[in-house]
Structure 1
Amino acid sequence: MFVDDSKEAAAPSTDVSAVAALDEPTRRRLYDHVARQTGPVSRDEAAEALGLARPTAAFHLDRLAEESLLDVVYERRSGRTGPGAGRPAKLYKRSSREVTVSLPERHYELAGRLLAQALEESEVTGEPVRTVLQRKAHELGRQLAGPRQTGVFALLEGNGFEPRYDGDAIVLGNCPFHALARDHTQTVCGMNLHLLRGVLEGLDGEGLQACLQPSPGHCCVRLQPAS
């Protein structure tokens, strides 16, 4: 899961679980119904709208909430307050969380965010977009390393690069920016190179250096022993 200065993305396994929860037909109907409403929906309202028993609707609504596909809010529908107003009703609304699953793992949103940041800063400072992009990617790489002090192999594995040892070097079996790198090779591979250089810098190098060395079936960046 890539982490930047604004948010942490959900782990891929969590997103897979959320998508799997929608495979149940009744649960998917409930999710679609809640998502179409302009305001929160109660269990009774959902059950009546879909012709379900209330316990059935409650079970599936709570499962959707557990997967963070729905948010739970509590409101008094009577409009009364104070003693005798009754307990607030448990209501459901669509979550603001975004769920994306891709196999192999891809992170196109991250690339888009870096490119947008680079363009905006370039317009303000006049610095070339590519230069800003590479700096932003390097900064993000250092943030990925962060204070967690995980090893470079584990960090790469956790972010979808599918690292493999090749002697003393590490090759990357997957590029999280594959389609972009294929169509915009120089820009995206350069961004990726500086991202991984930032990771190594944040991890004090671990005796490795990142270099561009494209080969069939691998990411364009290879981590090899520093000379």
Structure 2
Amino acid sequence: MMIFRIIFLLPLLISISSANIVFDYCVGDLSLPTGPTGYSCKDPAKVTVDDFVYSGLRIPGSTKNLFKFGASTALASQFPGLNGMGISMVRADMDVGGAVPIHTHRVSELIIVVEGTIIAGFIDTNNTAFYKTLNKGDMMIFPPILLHFQVNVGSTPVVAYATFPSENPGVQLVDGALFQNTLPSEVVEKVTLLDQAQVKKLKKIFGGSN
């Protein structure tokens, strides 16, 4: 009797599981504003294979900055074929001595080292630091929201790729959040325990004011 119930329910379960698939794809129309659910769909009659191909990650990110770090991104805003797919990728380049400063995303991140050696890690909400030296071919997962970082500890430049379960994972650098804004220096001093001179210096470096 049980087997007949399963056979009876199977088509129903299949129909429910596929009920959310209405279109094969929704290539983003970048000429229209984006919203919480992404971009509006491009007219399917105007979609071509080029909408599903992106070559931007061939190009290294510029490392001519304070952190000696550059990023090339493949998000829906550059690669419209990702729209609605729930996935994206970033290429990270670090010169010798470079670092990806402590930052956070809305979603998890999976990183793989392609060239070089890094120390990568994250800090959980109990303030426990999980970090390890990664070499070519090694991978590490960073849970969503948690602060994480990468540092080039080798003698050669680093190339790494990170993937995200979102076409727009967002990013917030702690340094930028604290010093690239109009928050009064007095407030920053209170919440960081830094002295006024250091806060003013960092605001100048990162382009903040007040």
- Same-fold call, TM > 0.5? no
| Structure label with greater radius of gyration | 1
TM norm structure 2: 0.22
Higher percent of residues as helix: 1
Higher percent of residues as strand: 2
TM norm structure 1: 0.21
